[in-house]
Amino acid sequence: MNSYKPMEDSMDVKSDEIMLKANDGLQLMVSKSAVKKPEAVIVIVHGICEHSGRYTHVVSRFNSWGYSVYRYDLRGHGRSQGDRAYVEDYQLFIDDTDLVVDMAKKENAGIPLFLVGHSMGGLISAIYGIQHPDNLTGQVLSGPPVMILPAVQGILSLDYKAKARTPIPNSLTNAISRNKDVIDAYNSDPLVLKEFSMMLMGEMFIRAGQWIVANRKKYNYPCLILHGGADQISPPEASRAFYENIASKDKELKIYEGLYHEILNEPEKETVLEDIHRWLEAHL
């Protein structure tokens, strides 16, 4: 049984927090911010070591444009259950996302639905798009590591399962944004994880990375692919290669010169948000 915890409503936005039961019984924390008569529904998928609460400013903008928003904490992240930053199989992330998408579809029948994924959430979203080609209206991918990253090129044969719970420090801090306030908030956020497991690294950045490269030609959704030109975490070459190799005819790629990894937390974030708004409006 899923439990509902009502939150304060504001600006005609009805907000709820939901504990959603995953297929294996694990509880996922889902936040809903629903507007009256939405023009679109957005599902947000966050990145490694962070949580969905870091997207409140993005949700507010989506709500102001008439979009309802669902966002959830990945298993092992934020307020969802699961061993911290650990996953037995990357497919669990895809299946969890499908549960949230299914909820959003059932509660908003007939309304255009888009998946917005950042970083590792962008990789999850891209894999979801290939495995579930008929569930969405389109996707927006932000800084997605949709390739074999340079950092793991030399360890593709690593038996990461043998050291599954070995911790890897979260060294992303200074590379997420050029905004010091964003970095300070990231460092002080108790829900931002300070390390992730060898298992998560292997499942997402080796196994899932290999899968997306082998299967990207099957990706056929309308998509907007966005990347910071100075991204030191997920190189912009990942988005360029994905854009060039997918089957989609309706696709757009934007590289923002000089921006770091979290383009939605950079000083130029309003430009990025307006680009997303323009693209979404064109696909309603």
- Catalytic residue numbers read 119, 231, 261
Place of tokens 């420090």: 169
Residue closest to 107 by CA, chosen among 136, 73, 68:
68
Phi, psi (5° rounding) for residue 197? Answer: -90, 155
Whether the Cβ atoms of residue 96 and residue 76 lie closer than 8 Å to each other: no
d(CA 224, CA 254): 8
Phi, psi (5° rounding) for residue 147? Answer: -165, 175
d(CA 16, CA 257): 37
Q: Hey, what are 1's tokens?
A: 């049984």
Burial readout 228-244 (b: 16 or more C-beta within 10 A, e: otherwise): bebbebbbbebbeebbe
Question: What is Dmax (Cα atoms) for the chain?
Answer: 52
